[in-house]
Amino acid sequence: VFWYQQPPRNGLKLVVSCSTWSHNSYEDGFSEAKFEVKRESTDYTVMTIKNLTLKDEATYFCAASDH
């Protein structure tokens, strides 16, 4: 599963990628302290953004692959 952030008038930025067999992998500038991802099953995942500020204003997307 991949989580992306798209700030207003900007392109997509990858926040984190996660899988059932490895730890979450955060991109530079993003951390688990701010963007917590929980994957409780193979078909259900949630990203929680903690301590929201105006800098967090964006559209967030998730993408998944079934293979």
pLDDT tens for the chain, 67 residues: list them: 899 999 999 999 999 998 767 789 999 999 999 999 987 777 788 999 999 999 999 999 999 877 6
Q: Which H, E and C letters describe 24-39, residue by residue?
A: EEECCCCCCCCEEEEE
Q: What is the pLDDT of residue 45?
A: 86
- Neighbouring CB atoms inside 10 A of 53's CB total 8
Q: Can you give the pTM of this predicted structure?
A: 0.86
Q: What is the pLDDT of residue 67?
A: 63
Q: Work out the widest C-alpha separation in the chain, in whole angstroms.
A: 37
Per-residue tokens: 22: 């490895």
